[in-house]
Amino acid sequence: MTIANMADTVRLQRKGCDRCGAGALWDVELPSGRHLRFCGHHLNEHMPRFENDGYPIVALQSQRSV
């Protein structure tokens, strides 16, 4: 349990896309409660499935550059 909690903390603190490590712009909450983070490119790649399944998608405002 301790290891799992530590892994969750690391994941939440990580700011990069889960797929490519670029700066994450979007946070997707899975039904399990886990979160995935995506750059714009990878969000677009997976968007059809997320929309189809109704996963909440949240913009990470702090990661946006003007």
Per CB under 5 A, residues contacting Zn ion are 17, 19-20, 22, 39, 42
**Shortest CB 42 distance to Zn ion, Å:** 4
Nearer to Zn ion, 16 or 29 (CB): 16
Residue 55, SS3? coil
**Shortest CB 41 distance to Zn ion, Å:** 5
Nearer to Zn ion, 6 or 20 (CB): 20
Instruction: Report CA dihedral (11, 17, 21, 23) to the nearest 10 degrees.
Output: -110
Q: Which amino acid is at 56?
A: P
